[in-house]
Amino acid sequence: GEDVEQSLFLSVREGDSSVINCTYTDSSSTYLYWYKQEPGAGLQLLTYIFSNMDMKQDQRLTVLLNKKDKHLSLRIADTQTGDSAIYFCAGGSYIPTFGRGTSLIVHP
Amino acid sequence: GAGVSQSPSNKVTEKGKDVELRCDPISGHTALYWYRQSLGQGLEFLIYFQGNSAPDKSGLPSDRFSAERTGGSVSTLTIQRTQQEDSAVYLCASSLAGLNQPQHFGDGTRLSIL
């Protein structure tokens, strides 16, 4: 099955860009997803990318996909304190497999 | 609202008791998933329902766990004879038909076993 790995923590200064990285093993994933989880809430779908795309931009979010290296990244431009949350990447060819999540901490 | 609804939001019970967790998916979503999220862990897949097909139960950790989905809509996850290691947040998600569709999550049920 799919295995998805993420770094556990990222700390950035408000206004800087954040880059959250993810690696996966299942090259047959049709879609790859980024979800955001705020305290006490479920996961909110942020964005997703088709496996035949290299990049997708959505306002402050940029997703980059390197299929050769099986590497996915999420860049958040002009990071704000409201972006502090846990970010999960997910993918797979069947039921999506989730990484353990990256805690993004934004400080003034 | 039109999102996935889960109840109760919090449940505290004694070890050995049975619990039932409820999930009401988005109308029109034929796929429904249950996950377990333990502190500091990712999402552990439990069970997947798709339409009238037999559910994929491959993620259920023991025979104390079961789930059903009545009328292709509301689902109930039941944990019998609860143990302390069952303490976690139980998340439900729904999606349109087809594999690897974007999932929409409820806010979860936080289960605490004393």
Query: Each residue of B70-83: pLDDT tens digit?
Result: 887 999 999 999 99
When pLDDT is averaged across residues B46-74 and rounded to a whole number, the result is 93
Work out whether the CA dihedral B72, B75, B80, B86 comes out positive or negative: positive
Where residue B1 falls among pLDDT bands split at 50, 70, 90?
Answer: low
Collect all residues of chain A within an 8 Å Cβ-Cβ radius of residue B88.
none
Cβ contact B100–A31 (<8 Å):
yes
Cβ contact A96–B42 (<8 Å):
no
CA distance B112 to chain A (A): 14
- Residue B110 pLDDT more than 70? yes
Strand A61-66 and strand A55-58: pairing? antiparallel
CA distance A95 to chain B (A): 6
Where residue B55 falls among pLDDT bands split at 50, 70, 90?
Answer: very high
Q: Which of A8-17, B49-58, B85-94 has the lowest mean pLDDT?
A: B49-58
Q: For all residues of chain A together, what is the average pLDDT?
A: 92
Closest residue in B to A4 (Cα) is B42
Q: What's the pLDDT tens digit per position in A14-48?
A: 999 999 999 998 878 888 999 999 988 889 999 99
Collect all residues of chain B within an 8 Å Cβ-Cβ radius of residue A93.
99-100
More confident residue, B99 or B75: B75
Collect all residues of chain B within an 8 Å Cβ-Cβ radius of residue A88.
42-43
| Radius of gyration over every alpha carbon of chain A, rounded to an integer in angstroms | 13
**Nearest CB neighbour to A88, from listed B42, B102, B106:** B42
More confident residue, B84 or A96: B84
Collect all residues of chain B within an 8 Å Cβ-Cβ radius of residue A95.
33, 45, 48, 56, 99-100
Q: What is the pLDDT of residue A2?
A: 73
> Which DSSP category does B56 fall into?
B
| Whole-angstrom distance, CA of residue A40 vs CA of residue B20 | 20
Q: CB pairs under 8 A, 24+ apart, for A6-9? A: A6/A87, A6/A88, A6/A89, A6/A99, A6/A100, A6/A101, A6/A102, A7/A102, A8/A100, A8/A101, A8/A102, A8/A103, A9/A102, A9/A103, A9/A105
- Residue B102 pLDDT more than 90? no
Q: What is the pLDDT of residue A92?
A: 82
Q: How many CB contacts within 8 angstroms connect chain A with chain B?
A: 55
